[in-house]
Structure 1
Amino acid sequence: MSSSSQRVTQRRLKGLLLKRFGMAAATYALTGVVCSVAMFNGLLQASWPTALLFTLLVTLSQLGFFAVFRAGKNLRFRDPSLTEPQMLVALGWLTLLLSSFDEGRGSLLVIYPLIMLFGVFELQPRVFVRCALLAFFGFAGLNLYEAFTLRLDDPAAATLQVCVLAAVLIWLSLFASYVQTLRRRMRQRRFALQAHQDTLRGMMRQLEDLAATDELTGLFNRRHFLRLASRALDNLRAGRQHGLALIDLDHFKRINDVHGHAAGDRVLQAFAAVARACLRDGDVLARYGGEEFVLLLPDTDCEQFAACCERLREAFSRAEPLGVKVSDLSLSVGMTLLTMHDDLDEALHRADQALYQAKRSGRNRCMAAWEEADA
């Protein structure tokens, strides 16, 4: 992945984490509203200075988390969301807050599962259970401390509250484990689907290569060449020209008759190997049919194109097909030039006429359509 893509991904992750932090901050704010209602109704056993100090400390803790998220320092941790630290801090504040309640304590127990829900989709089951145990022992310890100090007004109600909280936390722990199992299975299926898609794309590329390639020579086939040549002709600009040539291996039928078709195949493969060595990377060569080939040389002129075809003809005359002793190898070439607004079929016809003239003139030579025009 490039550095720019990484920066975009980190920016999106940072935005997502800030949104989740905003949800947590909203939960704190709603809890503050509930506590204000409780205080006005005399259910919160704390003075206004104590309540303001508690609110200030809670706000400072959240500002600390916000600063970490804003600076991006959370990305250094294994869990960039810092879900467990945020939950532990929230559970600690809630337990401390409940110590100031008496009659209304049971109503605020719902905030425990509300906090725990933040970790259902993020925390591993063992980490979630750890947070649940902290919530349970925090609340149970609060009630035991008040019972030990003889400040627990209704032991039966406190016992019921502890049992209800235990049941809810156990259910949430099981639910979190189930959710994480589902996420793991979905992740595995996504990876498997990605692997299948990659395999499918590879097979599609292989099929495209097979559809565009001549099996014997490894060169492009006629259909693919015509597609490439049409595209090159469409992109041709004024003042530029492409070279187009039809190449025919001389006396190929005689090679097949004397040495066999296997020898003929070796000669075709030898020509393909020679042509690859003589041509540039951007040049396009294809098997046009039988022993005939077609060549497209982008961005060239008469002299360069003729020199290239002549070099190819001389190189083939020195070729030695693998495992076959064939003497006097030669080829004939018909050349023409493609210009802007030219017609590909007409250009192929011009090259074919030039090839015909090369054959009539004794073979083993390169003839150009522009030479006939000059004559």
Structure 2
Amino acid sequence: MNALRRLAALLCGIDPGMRRMLQYWAATWVLYVICIVLLSLQVAHGLSDPDAARGLMAFGACGALSFYGLIRANGVFKLAPDQLAVAQAAFSLVCAIWAYAISGPLRAAMLTMTVVIIVFCMFALRPRQTLMLSATAIAGMGTAMWWLQAHDPLRFPPITELLTFGYLAGALVSTALLSGEMSKLRSRTKRQKRELSDALETIKVLATVDELTSLINRRHMNEVLEREERRHAPGADTCIALLDIDFFKQVNDRYGHATGDAVLRVFSATARAALRANDVLARWGGEEFLLLLPDAAPDDARAVLQRMAEQVRAMTVPGLDGRQITFSAGLAKRRADEPFADTISRADKALYQAKEAGRDRIALAPADIAPERRYGSR
């Protein structure tokens, strides 16, 4: 298996763009092989000149191999995919014209290959390029037909060549016009896909982020807690803190809800700036916030909250007339295998006790307080 992978890497490279171009090349190579087999059958049944047919086979095979080398060395030549596609299409058209000239009574069948070449390019070229390639095919095949009927009118009757050229020109023009319509559909599909992707991203943000504070919302925080429960290693400390802005209702009543919203926004930005790299702060509801402190002992978590409290006291909120904002917090250490819902419940009880003790303080859940520590701390 490793040997096959190394062989594939040797033949096709490792660059995704190059591999995609080689896939198109492989499709054209299959078409060349089919045409070579059919030409061999024509020669075997006396329908084509053997020397001319063998010359075309050698020309087609060498050209196909040359394009493989060109694609593999594209890191040096830096040709755009559409440039390579135009070059391969032009080469294929030369082969189709040559095949038309030597196929005798089967020459009309070669016209289908001309149309196939243009159709194949519809997926790689812009409409203008496809139109120019169709015009080149019409001019090239028309010149070949004119020359053949002029030099060998018995095998190539003028009226037959004229009518054949008309059918071919109509088919190629129609194909070029359809290419333009297909390009429009493809562009529309890409635009709709991009719009859908943007809409899904917006929905994702709306579903996970609180619009006012730009913090994650309660729903997404519950998902974070579920992941943390699965990730939590035995013996690792994790703490939960529940925060509540002090006297927030008074702020709304006295200064208005617009100022209250400003308090929430400034508080959220200030609080988030005081966190450690792995800490997660979420708006839990109203003026209440939930803080997850992974890999943190209670003393470490308290230090984070105290730093946050100092920065919140120093923050300035427009329209608040210099009034100081503070918060109360309840802190709980998660016990071994304890659901986070229970930890949050204990942190909520500690928050209630912090408020009862006068607010603007951090209270540790009673079961987590060391015997020598007193309850409540600023």
TM over 0.5: yes
Match of 1:128 in 2: 137
Alignment of 1:252-331 (within 5 A): 252-331=248-327
Unaligned runs of 5+ in 2: 1-11, 122-129, 372-378
1:67 deviates by 2.4
Match of 2:9 in 1: none
Q: Does 1:202 align with 2:198?
A: yes
Match 2:219 to one of 223, 242, 250: 223
Counterpart Cα distance in 2 of 1:227 and 1:266: 27
Counterpart Cα distance in 2 of 1:347 and 1:5: 54
Query: Which stretch shifts more, 315-324 or 122-131?
Result: 122-131
Match of 2:353 in 1: 357
Query: Which stretch shifts more, 6-15 or 181-190?
Result: 6-15
Alignment of 1:236-247 (within 5 A): 236-247=232-243
Match of 1:85 in 2: 91
For residue 152 of structure 2, give the secondary structure of its aligned residue in structure 1: helix
Amino acid at match of 1:201: S
Query: Which stretch shifts more, 27-36 or 345-354?
Result: 27-36
CA RMSD of the aligned region, Å? Answer: 3.0
| Residues 78-118 of structure 1, C-alpha deviations (whole Å, 9 max, x = no match) | 243622223324533653x47xxxxxx4x233344244344
Match of 1:137 in 2: 146
Match of 1:27 in 2: 35
For residue 219 of structure 1, give the secondary structure of its aligned residue in structure 2: coil
Amino acid at match of 1:38: G
Match of 1:113 in 2: 111
| Residues 124-177 of structure 1, C-alpha deviations (whole Å, 9 max, x = no match) | 321221222133123213215xxxxxxxxxx5xx57x33223212221221122
Match of 2:62 in 1: 64
Alignment of 1:171-210 (within 5 A): 171-210=167-206
1:305 deviates by 0.9
Match of 2:5 in 1: none
Whether the 8 Å contact between 1:132 and 1:173 is mirrored in structure 2 is no
Structure 1 stretches of 4+ moved >6 Å: none
For residue 241 of structure 2, give the secondary structure of its aligned residue in structure 1: strand
- In structure 2, the CA distance between the partners of 1:343 and 1:224, relative to structure 1 (3 Å rule), is same
Whether the 8 Å contact between 2:238 and 2:333 is mirrored in structure 1 is yes
Q: Which has the higher contact order (CA 8 A, sep 6+)?
A: 1
Amino acid at match of 1:243: C
For residue 341 of structure 1, give the secondary structure of its aligned residue in structure 2: coil
Query: Which stretch shifts more, 265-274 or 189-198?
Result: 265-274
- In structure 2, the CA distance between the partners of 1:254 and 1:56, relative to structure 1 (3 Å rule), is closer
For residue 139 of structure 1, give the secondary structure of its aligned residue in structure 2: helix
- In structure 2, the CA distance between the partners of 1:165 and 1:341, relative to structure 1 (3 Å rule), is farther
Whether the 8 Å contact between 2:309 and 2:326 is mirrored in structure 1 is yes
For residue 45 of structure 2, give the secondary structure of its aligned residue in structure 1: helix
Counterpart Cα distance in 1 of 2:107 and 2:254: 98
Whether the 8 Å contact between 2:218 and 2:282 is mirrored in structure 1 is yes
For residue 324 of structure 1, give the secondary structure of its aligned residue in structure 2: coil
1:341 deviates by 2.5
Identical residues among aligned pairs (%): 24
Counterpart Cα distance in 1 of 2:364 and 2:225: 19
Match 1:36 to one of 16, 38, 44: 44
1:181 deviates by 1.7
1:318 deviates by 1.9
Match 2:338 to one of 342, 350, 355: 342
Unaligned runs of 5+ in 1: 99-104, 145-154
Whether the 8 Å contact between 1:18 and 1:69 is mirrored in structure 2 is no
Counterpart Cα distance in 2 of 1:178 and 1:346: 71
Amino acid at match of 2:152: N
Match of 1:248 in 2: 244
Amino acid at match of 2:136: V
Amino acid at match of 2:59: S
Counterpart Cα distance in 1 of 2:221 and 2:116: 60
Whether the 8 Å contact between 1:84 and 1:131 is mirrored in structure 2 is no
Aligned length: 341
| Residues 325-363 of structure 1, C-alpha deviations (whole Å, 9 max, x = no match) | 253432111111235532121011110111122222222
- In structure 2, the CA distance between the partners of 1:183 and 1:239, relative to structure 1 (3 Å rule), is farther
Match of 1:13 in 2: 21
Counterpart Cα distance in 2 of 1:111 and 1:193: 35
TM-score, structure 1 length as denominator? 0.79
Whether the 8 Å contact between 2:100 and 2:108 is mirrored in structure 1 is no
